[in-house]
Structure 1
Amino acid sequence: MKKIKVLVVDDSAFMRKLIAEFLTEDSRLEVVGSARNGQEAISKIQSLRPDVVTLDVEMPIMNGLEALGEIMKDCPTPVVMLSSTTKEGAENTLIAMQNGAFDFIAKPSGAISLDLYKVKQEIIDKVVAASRANVHKLQKNAGEIQRNLSGCKKYSKIESEVSVVSSYAIRDRVYRSKKIVLIGTSTGGPRALQTVLTNLPQSINAPILVVQHMPPGFTKSLAERLDSLCHIHVKEAEDGELIQKGTAYIAPGGFHLKVRKIGTGLAIVLEQSEPRNGHRPSVDVMFESVASELIDFTKTAVIMTGMGSDGANGLTELKKKGQVKAIAESQETSIVFGMPKAAIATHLIDNVENVENIAKTIVKYCES
């Protein structure tokens, strides 16, 4: 079997050596070279033609973001970013995802992580998955997102605060409508979420709960970034807060997101029970909680791009209880078709849609 060729890019010699050792332990992978900065990486990509690049975000001479832009423009290759969990690192990682990176891995303890072994299997799994990705789709999606950004309305801080206050004032109307939207996604999710959430109207007659597989420290930056681009309000979910329509709540990394009825309202419940299928937050856990708590609600469930099958079992539970419409992202636009494929295999999906059509379908179900 032909081995997957990998180029390792990091300004730390220790990190280059450690990552290369992890990768070469897997018989499917071959490290064909390494580079100390983005400039050197571009030169080596052109000469070595790797199948996948692991790319550090923070480097001298040419950093990971600058290098990624050049790579996707001149020599498109699937890129897995390695990032610190600082606020700046999280924000740069999200920009990288938007600009065409396949996925990212959070270094456990900063730029030089002596405990990198904690994410060893994640590095291997994501590099293998990246090797199967359609790099031209990554490149195309990055270009489309950049073009669409100019058309997104960016609210001022004052407008956003007024919007939030207004939504609290009409809270009771949310529960009389008894509609809720549930979105689950993983690899490729930040781009897919941006496409979907920026196309939802502020007047949408439902709250939106979102599980995006991400480690702690990244979901808050994701929520803030999406909030600056969307007509709806987007925030990281907080334990105990009352759910409002026209707001998307993103489960914090490291916490499962559930719901609980409180009088005529709904509250967010965050908890840290065991990961499900290796994930916390888990789409299955969110779907199952809504299935048991909100039998009388009309639910719209959406499963988008991602590795694995998270969401398929939860969808089965949702469909057993109450009225549910289910949407899966198409193979054509999914960066990784694992989660949507598993959902479709349940035969419980009502619509298979390209990512750019998902918002319109959500709105249709929320208005019906």
Structure 2
Amino acid sequence: MKPYRVLVVDDSAFMRKIISDLIEKDDQFQVAGTAVNGREAVGKVKELKPDLVTMDVEMPEMNGLEALRRIMLDHPLPVIMLSGINEEGMKETILALEGGAFDFIRKPSISSSHDIISVGEALREQMKEAMLERERREARSASALLAAEAPPVPRIPESPPLLPPVKPADKPVGGSETKAERLPRQVAKTPRETHSPDIGAPEDLQSENKPVRSGDRFKAVPPAAKPPAAGLSKALLKPKTETPAGNVPRPKSPISGTAPDIPSAAAKERKPDAKGLDKLVAVGCSTGGPRALKALLEKIPADFPAPIVIVQHMPPNFTKSLAQRLNTFSPLDVMEAEQGMILKKGAAYIAPGGYHMKVTEAAGGQFTISLTKEEARNGHRPSVDTLFESLLPLDSLERHAVIMTGMGGDGAKMMKSLYDAGVTSTFAESEETCVVYGMPRSAVELQCVSYILPLQDIAPRLVQVVK
């Protein structure tokens, strides 16, 4: 297999040499050329047609952000930004991620060989994931094209019946129907009573009992249903035939797509306190997350009746720039979380890079943020699993968990634990809108997702479910 060709863009000759050497430590990649600024980079992309670009953020003549915009407009391809840790560089990096950059890494410290090695490993991992995602998208596009071009399957005419249909016996003249004759028609008029919830609803009930969907396409039916919660009687497990207006049904059964509309014991005892909270939303994302968070938070209204706690995999300091940027778009108050902050409705809190974030219960119905320096989990600090795990004991809250685009599987394991504990709802971004379908895929494969939706549909459904 031919190596992937990479264009390295940086105004520093020394940094171009370091980055090029780090890239070519992996035989899958070859440096096809270099550029000293954004203007030259735009021309080299057109000339060399590389598979991938590494782009310095701050450069003379044309910076990396402007070069990225032109490349994505004329020759879209994966671009990984290299950012300094100064304030301006971090702001430009957040804008680049919004503008379509695949991901970013901070520039290595040239005085630390250990840091250079660490940055090289992270860079190669991102490059491999970028190429893998590109191949997946190309494969999906090819499959869709083949399906569109395939001739329609001819319909086989139905064979005529071998025997003439049997006519029903004539009713006695002047007589009335017996109870036995009326019963079959009565049953036919009430199909809800003739179908077990484990078999699936008839077609005319699909609007009420829909299976988990991804956009407008039905997802494959998982092989086993989630067992009923312990302590529930068989009478309580009988599904309702109608859902009251404004009431959102519990997550659907993996077998039938229907669900008993049964509040958990915690939900029954939950009493909203004017001084406290009774709802909470937790969100996890990684690669592609800044753009996904913008799409999510700009559609959440200011009167949203729950705080939103967010883990976005990012190095220290960058999360503050991210929070400031998102705050300009969202009706919510978006901020970087701090130790001891009291969670409030209509606000979103982003875990600071380098710290795990947990939600803890305080006196008076209040909930606060706890930041820790515990060991990295799933290779990350902050970790989505750590945040989700902290929600498990908070059964006085109506909890909602969301996983969006990102590499790996962080968050999926603890989403499964929350789902099994009976949280109100769980969401995953569907494959067609993910920059990287890693974290959501892991959750879907664990069969712990109530709603699988494209990015643009997550916020409206979340608002509907929470309100």
**TM bracket, shorter-chain basis:** 0.7 to 0.9
| Aligned position for 1:77 | 77
Q: Is the Cα–Cα contact under 8 Å of residues 241 and 268 in structure 1 kept in the other structure?
A: yes
Does structure 1 residue 192 correspond to structure 2 residue 306?
Answer: no
Q: Per-residue deviation at 1:207?
A: 0.6
Matched AA of 2:307:
P
| Aligned position for 2:55 | 55
Q: What runs of 5+ residues in structure 2 fail to find an aligned partner?
A: 138-271
In 1: Cα distance, 2:60 partner to 2:89 partner: 15
Q: Per-residue deviation at 1:359?
A: 0.6
| Aligned position for 1:308 | 408
Q: Is the Cα–Cα contact under 8 Å of residues 216 and 253 in structure 1 kept in the other structure?
A: yes
C-alpha RMSD of matched pairs (Å): 1.8
**2:377 pairs with 255, 276, 296, which one?**
276
Matched AA of 2:460:
K
- CA 174–33 in structure 1, closer or farther in 2 if over 3 Å, else same: farther
SS in 1 for 2:405: coil
In 1: Cα distance, 2:12 partner to 2:92 partner: 19
SS in 2 for 1:332: helix
| Aligned position for 1:123 | 123
| Aligned position for 2:90 | 90
Aligned positions of 1:101-250 closer than 5 A: 101-109=101-109, 115-134=115-134, 173=274, 175-176=276-277, 178-250=278-350
User: For each residue in 1:329-355, what CA deviation from the matched residue of structure 2 results, as whole angstroms up to 9, or x when unmatched?
Assistant: 010110100111001001010111110
| Aligned position for 2:457 | 357
**1:297 pairs with 382, 394, 397, which one?**
397
| Aligned position for 1:10 | 10
Q: Is the Cα–Cα contact under 8 Å of residues 259 and 267 in structure 1 kept in the other structure?
A: yes
Q: Per-residue deviation at 1:63?
A: 1.1
Q: Per-residue deviation at 1:41?
A: 1.2
Q: Per-residue deviation at 1:175?
A: 3.2
Q: What runs of 5+ residues in structure 1 fail to find an aligned partner?
A: 138-170
TM-score by length of 1: 0.86
In 1: Cα distance, 2:57 partner to 2:116 partner: 16
User: For each residue in 1:35-94, what CA deviation from the matched residue of structure 2 results, as whole angstroms up to 9, or x when unmatched?
Assistant: 111111122111211110000011112111111111111121210000011111111001
Of the structure 1 ranges 185-194 and 19-28, higher mean CA displacement relative to structure 2 is found in 19-28
SS in 2 for 1:205: coil
Q: Per-residue deviation at 1:132?
A: 3.2
In 1: Cα distance, 2:71 partner to 2:458 partner: 30
Q: Per-residue deviation at 1:134?
A: 4.6
Of the structure 1 ranges 27-36 and 300-309, higher mean CA displacement relative to structure 2 is found in 27-36
| Aligned position for 2:367 | 266
Q: Per-residue deviation at 1:117?
A: 2.5
Q: Per-residue deviation at 1:108?
A: 4.2
Q: Per-residue deviation at 1:174?
A: 6.5
Identity of aligned residues (%): 48
User: For each residue in 1:175-209, what CA deviation from the matched residue of structure 2 results, as whole angstroms up to 9, or x when unmatched?
Assistant: 35x11001000000000000000000111111100
SS in 1 for 2:31: strand
Structure 1 or 2: more strand by fraction? 1
Structure number with greater Rg is 2
Of the structure 1 ranges 307-316 and 40-49, higher mean CA displacement relative to structure 2 is found in 40-49
| Aligned position for 1:40 | 40
**1:334 pairs with 434, 449, 454, which one?**
434
User: For each residue in 1:132-172, what CA deviation from the matched residue of structure 2 results, as whole angstroms up to 9, or x when unmatched?
Assistant: 3459x9xxxxxxxxxxxxxxxxxxxxxxxxxxxxxxxxx95
Q: Is the Cα–Cα contact under 8 Å of residues 83 and 104 in structure 1 kept in the other structure?
A: yes
SS in 2 for 1:181: strand
In 1: Cα distance, 2:100 partner to 2:59 partner: 19
Q: How many residues align?
A: 330
